[in-house]
Amino acid sequence: MSRLLHLSDTHFGTELPAVLSALERLVACVRPEVLVLSGDITQRATAAQFASARDWLARLPVPHRLVIGGNHDIPLFDLAERLRHPYRRLSAAFGAEREPRLDLPDWQVLTLDTTRWWRHRDGTLSRAQIARTANTLQAAAPGQIRVVVTHHPLHVTRSGDEVHRPTHHREALSAWAGAGADLLLSGHIHLPAVVPVAVEPLPAPPGAEPRPPRRVWSIQAGTAVSRRLREGIPNTVMLLEGLSGERHGRLCRCETWQCPPEGGAFRRVASQLLALSPLRG
């Protein structure tokens, strides 16, 4: 099966040239079919920062790219632009579709915009976004790994990061897990993590058999290429690969790759085999 490279929080304007070069070499080596950038493309949402990000991504030999904005991709200090055209620079660089999706034989990738122009840092999911995503997940082909991408994380590993989860995150987790989501990709908090999450289902209709919790995997990318590191954790990206075979069920390999800020090379520091939940009939 093909590979998916997940990176986040590039924060162009604070990028490290040596790390950019190292990531280019990694992409050339592992040759992913899909690249997902889960927000905070830029540091201050300037036209020049967006252009730098666009030009760098265009150099990477990846057939499919999905890019969404983060809270840093809305102008902060240019108040007129933030009020009148908050997403104009993002759209000029990466297209008007702020929630791109991808269907391949082995991947269904759905992205959602959790930013709102009136919020500085916090994220939001509307109930319309949640319902639309659940419906699309239910329509996925049996051979696809079902991936939902947001900038703000639906699950966090530290209590201090609870404030970074978007509104309605519990409702989204229940709805998407019930609809068959396998992987939840996000960024924003600059802490790489791969965590299984047991999600309680939505209440069953009257007379229906109650359903047990379903496991989904929360995958947090770290800081991809920026100097804005957290707690000394090196620049980090995630590489995912679906594994086929009826003998062992549905599986996905998740590799964590890191590079020191001074550059050199990205090195694989962890590899986990993720058991994906069976699809419900």
Q: Cβ distance 210 to 178 under 8 Å? A: no
pLDDT at 170 (0 to 100) = 95
Whether 195 is in a domain gets the answer yes
The answer to whether residue 150 is domain-embedded is yes
Query: What is the arithmetic mean of pLDDT over 172-180?
Result: 95
Instruction: Please report whether residue 213 resides in a domain.
Output: yes
d(CA 146, CA 134): 11
In a domain, 77, yes or no: yes
- Is 60 exceeded by the pLDDT of residue 281? no
pLDDT tops 80 at residue 210: no
pTM: 0.95
Q: Cα-atom radius of gyration of the chain, to the nearest Å?
A: 18
Is residue 11 in some structural domain? yes
Q: Phi and psi of 39, rounded to 5°? A: 100, 170
Query: Has residue 280 been placed in a domain?
Result: no
Residue 207 lies in a domain: yes
Backbone angles phi, psi at 95, to 5 degrees: 95, 160
What pLDDT score was predicted for residue 280? 67
Would residue 168 count as lying in a domain? yes
Contact 162, 185 (CB under 8 A): no
Instruction: List the structure tokens of 95.
Output: 């297209």
Q: How many domains does the chain have?
A: 1
Query: At residue 1, does pLDDT exceed 80?
Result: no
Say whether pLDDT at 246 is over 60. Answer: no
> Are the C-beta atoms of residues 71 and 116 closer than 8 Å to each other?
no
Domain ranges, residue 169 = 3-275
What is the average pLDDT value for the chain, to the nearest integer?
A: 94
CATH number where 188 lies? 3.60.21.10
